[in-house]
Amino acid sequence: MSHYYLLLDSTWFHDRFRPAMVASWRQKSFQPCQALCGELTEAARAFSATYHVFTEGSLTAVAAGVPFDRHLWRCLVGEALLYGASEIPEIQSTIESLTRLLAPDRTPRLDGPRECLAPIHQAHFGSRDLEFDTAIYRPEQVGVNRVSDVRRLAEYLGSLEPAAWTIADLDSADELLDDEARAGELEYIREWFPPLRQLYERARTREQIVVCETP
């Protein structure tokens, strides 16, 4: 399964992005977002050139002064996150097997409040919902780790030793029927775990926020 991460400058997130979106939601108006949309225009062009995608979406509509609409507001949140991100890594993760290794008493999915999730799940799904006043942005798919969460999770991930994991730790994996299959799964986990750990270490060093998105 792919997990997408957006690394965002914490000052921009707290001082520019979130206040504009909260004010827009409370006032039921896109007027508070006008300055933000103007700031993101160049970033949208750069995003389009880098990823070869069409970006004439909600950002352009809001900048043109369309009336407030909740669906469009949510689209604008998503676009602003994309254009405001300094990095958008995609990490391949076998969360089911990582759960057996690191949180065997938990289920490998978002099954309760994010703050109560095991650390390995918070690294994948986020430690908090992405809230804007009374609005929660895509609560089933998107979570956020703020600077304090990133610091904590970077320390947690850095403390783990994948070399110490063994196929015996995957014995409960029903779909992995023999030791050869378990060995292959363990090799795959060891391949993709370092990028996850490095992602959080980069974000900690830069004091960034990490938004986690599950398709």
pLDDT in the model for residue 177: 62
Q: Is 4 within 8 Å of 199 (Cβ atoms)?
A: no
- Tens-place pLDDT, residues 56-114: 677 777 767 889 999 999 999 999 999 999 999 988 878 888 998 999 888 888 888 99
**Do you know the residue count of the chain?**
215
Q: Is 103 within 8 Å of 120 (Cβ atoms)?
A: yes
State the Cα–Cα distance between residues 110 and 79, nearest whole angstrom: 24
Over 70: is that where the pLDDT of 18 sits?
yes
State the Cα–Cα distance between residues 127 and 152, nearest whole angstrom: 11
Chain centroid to CA 163: how far?
A: 26
State the Cα–Cα distance between residues 133 and 50, nearest whole angstrom: 33
How many other C-beta atoms can be found within 10 angstroms of the C-beta atom of residue 59? Answer: 23
pLDDT in the model for residue 185: 87
Cβ-Cβ contacts under 8 Å for 13 (sequence gap 6 or more): 84, 209
Q: Is 173 left (phi over 0), alpha (psi -120 to 50) or beta?
A: beta
Q: What percent of the chain has pLDDT over 70?
A: 92
Global confidence as pTM: 0.90
Of the ranges 47-51, 88-92, 97-101, 127-131, which is most confident?
127-131
Of the ranges 52-56, 142-146, 190-194, which is most confident?
142-146
* CA 120 vs CA 3, 14, 127: distances in Å: 13, 25, 10
- Tens-place pLDDT, residues 142-179: 999 999 999 999 999 999 999 999 888 886 655 556 78
What is the residue-averaged pLDDT of the chain?
Answer: 89
Helix and strand numbers (H, E) in the chain are 9, 7
pLDDT in the model for residue 93: 76
**pLDDT bucket at 21, cuts 50 / 70 / 90:** very high
